[in-house]
Structure 1
Amino acid sequence: MAKLIILLAFIFLAWYLRNRFISTPKADRKRLITGWLLWLTVAIVVAMALTGRLHWIGGLMALSVPFLRQFALWFMQRKLNEMDHKNSSAQELSPQSDMDRPKALQILNLGEQPSREEIIQAHRKMMQKNHPDQGGSDYLAAMLNQAKDLLIKELNDDE
Structure 2
Amino acid sequence: MSLLVLAAIALAGWMWWTGRLQRVTGQDAVAIGVGLLGLILLAKGKPLLGVAPALLTGLYALWRFNRGEKERKSREIPPGPMDVAEARALLGVDEHADAEAIRAAHRRLIALTHPDRGGTEALARKINAARDVLLRHHGEK
Per the alignment, residue 67 of structure 2 pairs with: 80
The answer to whether the 8 A contact 2:113-2:120 is kept is yes
5 Å-filtered alignment, 1:1-159, equals 38=37, 42=41, 60-88=47-75, 91-94=76-79, 96-97=80-81, 99-156=82-139
Supply the AA of the counterpart residue of 1:62. Answer: L
Per the alignment, residue 19 of structure 2 pairs with: none
Task: Please list every run of at least 4 consecutive aligned residues from structure 1 whose deviation after the TM superposition is greater than 6 angstroms.
Answer: none
DSSP 3-state at the match of 1:113? coil
Change (3 A) 1:86 1:115: same
CA distance in 1, matches of 2:91, 2:73: 27
Instruction: State the TM-score, normalizing by the size of structure 1.
Output: 0.52
Computing the radius of gyration over CA atoms, which structure comes out larger, 1 or 2? 1
Q: CA RMSD in A?
A: 3.5
Tell me the matched-pair count: 108
Is the helix fraction higher in 1 or 2?
1
Supply the AA of the counterpart residue of 2:101. Answer: E
The answer to whether the 8 A contact 2:99-2:135 is kept is yes
The answer to whether the 8 A contact 1:92-1:142 is kept is no
Change (3 A) 1:111 1:66: same
Structure 2 residue ranges without an equivalent (≥5): 1-28
CA distance in 1, matches of 2:84, 2:41: 65
CA distance in 2, matches of 1:141, 1:119: 15
